[in-house]
Amino acid sequence: MKQRMDILDCSKPSDYDRAKELKSFDDTKAGVKGLVDAGIVKIPRIFIRPDDELAEELTTHQSNFQVPIVDLDGIRGDRLQKIVDQIRDASETWGLFQVVNHGIPSDVLEKMLDGARKFHDLDLEVKKELYSRDPKRNIRFYSNMDLYQSRTANWRDTFAISTLASKPFDPTEIPEVCSCFCRDSSVEYIKNVSKLGNTLFELLSMALGLKPQHLKEMGCTEGFYIGCHYYPPCPAPDLTLGTTKHSDPSFLTILSQDQIGGLQVFHENQWVDVHPIAGGLVINIGDFLQVISNNKFKSVDHRVVANGSVSRISVPCFFAGHATETPKLYGPIKELTSEENPPVYRDFLISEYLSLLLSGAVGDKSVLYQFKL
């Protein structure tokens, strides 16, 4: 706590202009890595978490819970029902699990993580050309998507690749300067992660008691967003976070991460470490799947803690469905509702959800509360 007092004492409250500091940071287009490369020893105040959040850490001790691990080996054989049951249980009780023997070659995962790291290690002047806060850009570099809306900035930079359902990913959009390590690895990764996504949605459909293609036919597999996250080492890891507590704006998220660790899931009022598994992938239920499953599946809060000594790379792929170009209403699946189990949510457009999320209109509350009946 002494470190926190040292930082707070360096300027009087009346001297602190948060909006000015946010803009100053954003205008550098250098991201958090730019601060680290500049040799800072104290983190800017925009990254320091509020006192109430820091105090809350004392009451949310980590436990010895083990995040569920699902082995997908034998999925086309006699283990199918067991795998479906395991995924159902994990989706209902945790909202997050890890999968092994998922079919994506380890070298594909490694090349994607390596390509992400090489992008963030590029010369700053090169990255600046891609720096943007425009969510409609398919390829962009930024730091903190919600920089101007969040209570606290996160210790994280992102290189993003995204597409809408009606506009397939075009690898030529990746700039030539980073094509040598990003383009080929991204194309191969997207091909493999899309295939795995289709498989997982089939399993989730069966776990809900629906036909295997039900979620795919709803459009859950269409449209994705890949974030190549870079978490630099932080001089004051106890005062900030790599990623603030949140649930995902997606149907499903597939996460590849290096072996550094830092991801935590909130389970039974405690933060639980999601320990990396070599070759494994983290799967978590997103807000949209919680809605259409009528709360049967859980979109869980998770976060990433900051690290004081080493950098971390992670590559989440968010299956976000139809966003803007093909408006489509989503709501609880009719087969999952009845008089005894009425719909919990109203139908909504994903674009409506994203507008609320990006505007910061709901504050620290879940966007899902805005759609409850």
For residue range 191-247, list pLDDT tens digits in order.
999 999 999 999 999 999 999 999 999 999 988 889 999 999 999 999 999 999 999
Q: What is the pLDDT of residue 169?
A: 67
The CB density around residue 62, as the number of other CB atoms within 10 Å, is 10
**Does 118 have pLDDT greater than 70?**
yes
Under the banding of pLDDT at 50, 70 and 90, the label for residue 164 is low
Give the burial class of 206: count Cβ atoms within 10 A of its Cβ; 0-12 exposed, 13-18 middle, 19 or more buried. buried
State which H helix or E strand residue 165 sits in.
none
Under the banding of pLDDT at 50, 70 and 90, the label for residue 56 is confident
Q: What is the pLDDT of residue 24?
A: 96
**Does 181 have pLDDT greater than 80?**
no
Name every residue whose Cβ is closer than 8 Å to that of residue 17 and which is 6 or more positions away in sequence: none
| Model pLDDT for residues 24-35, shown as the tens digit of each residue | 999 999 999 999
Q: What is the pLDDT of residue 31?
A: 98
**Does 165 have pLDDT greater than 70?**
no
Q: What is the pLDDT of residue 6?
A: 38
Query: Is residue 6 one of the residues assigned to a domain?
Result: no
Higher-pLDDT residue of 344, 165? 344
Q: What is the pLDDT of residue 77?
A: 82
Mean pLDDT of 322-331: 71
Query: Is residue 359 one of the residues assigned to a domain?
Result: yes
**Does 70 have pLDDT greater than 60?**
yes
Predicted model pTM: 0.92
Q: What is the pLDDT of residue 177?
A: 65
Higher-pLDDT residue of 76, 108? 108
Query: Is residue 31 one of the residues assigned to a domain?
Result: no
**Domain span holding position 103:** 65-371
Query: Is residue 201 one of the residues assigned to a domain?
Result: yes
Query: Is residue 122 one of the residues assigned to a domain?
Result: yes
Query: Is residue 220 one of the residues assigned to a domain?
Result: yes
Q: What is the pLDDT of residue 62?
A: 64
**Does 155 have pLDDT greater than 70?**
yes
Q: What is the pLDDT of residue 3?
A: 39
Q: What is the pLDDT of residue 9?
A: 38
For the chain, how many residues are written? 373
Q: What is the pLDDT of residue 61?
A: 64
Are the beta carbons of 44 and 74 closer than 8 angstroms? Answer: no
Query: Is residue 257 one of the residues assigned to a domain?
Result: yes
Mean pLDDT of 55-67: 77
* CA distances for 87 relative to 197, 206, 278, angstroms: 14, 10, 20
Are the beta carbons of 198 and 216 closer than 8 angstroms? Answer: yes
Q: How far apart are CA 323 and CA 354, in angstroms?
A: 8
On average, the pLDDT of the chain sits at 89
Give the burial class of 177: count Cβ atoms within 10 A of its Cβ; 0-12 exposed, 13-18 middle, 19 or more buried. middle
Would you call 274 helix, strand, or coil by DSSP?
coil
Domain count along the chain: 1
Mean pLDDT of 3-24: 64
> In this structure, what are the phi and psi dihedrals at residue 233, rounded to the nearest 5 degrees?
-60, 145
**Does 364 have pLDDT greater than 90?**
no
Mean pLDDT of 139-160: 94
CATH code of the domain containing 135: 2.60.120.330
Higher-pLDDT residue of 168, 49? 49
Query: Is residue 50 one of the residues assigned to a domain?
Result: no
